Structure 1
Amino acid sequence: MASVSIPSELMGPSNSERHSEWQYLDLMRRIWAEGSERVDRTGVGTRSVFGAQLRFDLADGAMPLLTTKRVYWKTATREMLWFLTGDTNIRPLVLQGVKIWNEWPHARYVNETGEDIALDDFIQRIADDEAFAERWGDLGPVYGKQWVDWPTYRYRKDGLYEKSEGINQIAEVVESLKTNPGSRRHIIEGWNVAELDRMALPPCHKTYQFHVAKDDQGRDRLNCLLYQRSCDVALGLPFNLWSAALLQRMMAQQTDLEPGELVWMGGDTHLYLNHEHLITEQLNREPQGHPTLEIVRRPDSIFDYRIEDFVVHNYEPHPPIKAPVAV
């Protein structure tokens, strides 16, 4: 595909002392100008690059919360807290007004029943009818299930296997960070090959690895690397960056470590062709301000945080930019 020219006014500043958000904008600009045009699973079409990296220092409460458009960080936080419960049904999210996962169960319901029900009406039924939600609101063994209850099986004397107690990867990593911080095995994995075909969507942000190192002042800092196999840069990545940094901050608090660097790595890193209006508008904006996160309470475990525990300061972003989600 021939490269797409980017107007000079969208190129951003060239000086080295730039706002950290310019990394994101530079990535968006590069994908749109140089990415390979591809036909994707959704049929919408993308421009894509393979292999990308962003780095953010989380010291002093800093967070990779985009300011060039409003990011609904409370929605992303509610999703992360839902992951940590291990639940895979959208009803708890629906009851909190979180719409992130609505399209996938709706599409499955329409496909399997043939009923041409509007998305809003379907979601209202999920909220109102617990039995209906149990049947149609489940996403399969997605993120949270793998994080806190990775399935295991035990070999029986009769030659068959039976399900055994699942593995709580989150709890194990918290414990290993406390007892063996130098380990290279602080990993949370969502890509369970045996269960991919049962998931509404295989995990995109699939692998988290944590790393403890001393900073220049001798403080132990917790770093996190997130590998994302597939990334919708316009709609998904702003949430993914916030959520990864949030999990890292929670892990750091629970293990008495200072938050360090968040390293994000993308495999198929793409922009959808029908997001051109969003991309053009966002690249016309400049980052403003430096939002920070305060965790106002330290619960007994990483599984006990509540939405009220998180307060964002100095967040005055540009207005939101709406665009369709590709399902």
Structure 2
Amino acid sequence: MEPYLNLLRDVYTRGIDKPQRAKVGGRSLLCRSLFAPNPIRLDLAAGFPLLTTKRMAIRPVAVELLWFLSGSTNNNDLLAQNVRIWDAWADPVTGELGPVYGKQWRRWEAADGRRVDQITELVQNVRAVAADPWHPAARRLLLTAWNPGDMPPPTTPTGCHTLAQFNVTAGRLSCHLYQRSADMLLGVPYNIASYALLTHLLARVTGLGVGEYVHSFGDAHVYENHFEQVAEQLTRTPRPLPTLVLADDITSLDDVRVDQISVAGYDPHPPIRGEVAV
């Protein structure tokens, strides 16, 4: 995970401190920000990119991704699995989050009234390109979460990871994620693991190997209440990446279970905690 750590160091040492909307405990924070830094590039065949300079749990990553894939936009579905990463943004009564990723991925509202299931279309198109490299979908393997006509107020973090493009080359599936807003300490390590997992799952159900994971950023930032944690993380030496283990009977993205996803050989440094800015 040296590419991630190099970017974290770059943002921490070269970023510009500036005001932004998020707060902790009612207190406004500065964030140290770089716009459009160099992307991260990882070989997914060389190991699963679960950060080793601090302990991360694969289960919340998998639960959240499967929640996206289910089409749910209700935090209660996460709470039922003891995952609380969306609590700060959910309606305290209903648990609803608004038109977040599950809706955009599975029920995108088109201008003509249709509801587009981007995941179903993505799987079909990846299979078509794998079977025929001349297929016109080859450069249209896109998954987008940014629907301008369906954006809630800016206090909801909809579409932070905005657009993923997939590529089939020589029997391998690669993913390029563009993220408009990136919390480098807390959010980005989960985003990397999440889209790497999505790439592995998509490759599995389409009969492909995995290629590269590329991650580009708009505003990459470190909140001021995370400065000490970032400094600590940058003193640690990365350890070998774990291996992702997927159950052999995964054949569809619609019925993957959390217990079918695990990692082997994970030996991270101790956790580094930070309070999320809302």
The TM-score normalised by the length of structure 2 is 0.92
Please list, as runs of the form range in 1=range in 2, the aligned pairs for 1:59-74 lying within 5 A after superposition: 59=45, 62-74=47-59
1:121 aligned partner: none
Structure 1: unaligned runs, 5 residues or longer: 1-20, 110-131, 155-163, 215-219
User: In structure 2, what is the Cα distance between the partners aligned to 1:238 and 1:257?
Assistant: 25
CA distance in 1, matches of 2:14, 2:44: 30
3-state SS in 1 of match to 2:20: coil
The C-alpha deviation readout for 1:204-251, integer Å capped at 9, x for no partner, is: 11101000112xxxxx11011000001001000110000010000001
| Structure having greater relative contact order (Cα 8 Å, sep ≥ 6) | 2
* Residue number in structure 2 paired with 1:180: 129
Q: Distance in 2 between matches of 1:224 and 1:70?
A: 24
Say whether residues 1:192 and 2:141 are aligned partners: no
- Rounded to whole Å, the distance in 1 between the matches of 2:12 and 2:185 is 11
Question: Which residue of the other structure, out of 94, 98, 102, is the alignment partner of 1:140?
Answer: 98
**Corresponding residue for 1:14?**
none
Residue in 2 that maps onto 1:58: 44
Residue 151 of structure 2: SS of its match in structure 1?
Answer: helix
Structure-2 residue corresponding to 1:22: 2
Matching of residue 264 in structure 1 with residue 215 in structure 2? yes
Measured in 2, the distance between the counterparts of 1:245 and 1:208 equals 11
Structure 2 unmatched ranges of 5 or more? 23-27
Matching residue of 2:163: 207
Note the 1:210-249 alignment, pairs <5 A: 210-214=166-170, 220-249=171-200
* CA-CA distance at 1:153 after TM superposition: 4.4
Give the Cα–Cα distance (whole angstroms) in 2 for the partners of residues 26 and 316 of structure 1.
21
Give the superposition deviation at 1:26. Answer: 1.3
Distance 2:48 2:116 in 1: 30
Q: State the AA in 2 paired with 1:287.
A: P
Is 1:250 paired with 2:201? yes
Stretches of 4+ moved more than 6 A in 1? none
1:145 partner amino acid: K
Q: Which residue of 2 aligns with 1:93?
A: 78
Report the Cα offset of residue 297 of structure 1.
2.8
Structure 1 length normalisation: TM-score?
0.78
Select 1:149's aligned residue among 82, 101, 107: 107
Report the CA distance between 1:175 and its aligned residue: 0.2
Report percent identity of matched pairs. Answer: 41
Q: Among residues 44, 47, 51, which one is paired with 2:29 in the alignment? A: 44
Contact 2:106–2:118 (8 Å) recurs in 1:
yes
Q: Is contact 1:141-1:198 (8 Å) kept?
A: no
Flag the structure with larger Rg: 1
Q: Distance in 2 between matches of 1:201 and 1:264?
A: 18
Q: Report the counterpart of residue 116 of structure 1 in structure 2.
A: none
Q: Aligned with 1:147: secondary structure?
A: helix
Q: Which amino acid aligns with 1:316?
A: D
Say whether the 8 Å CA contact 2:66–2:256 is kept in structure 1: yes
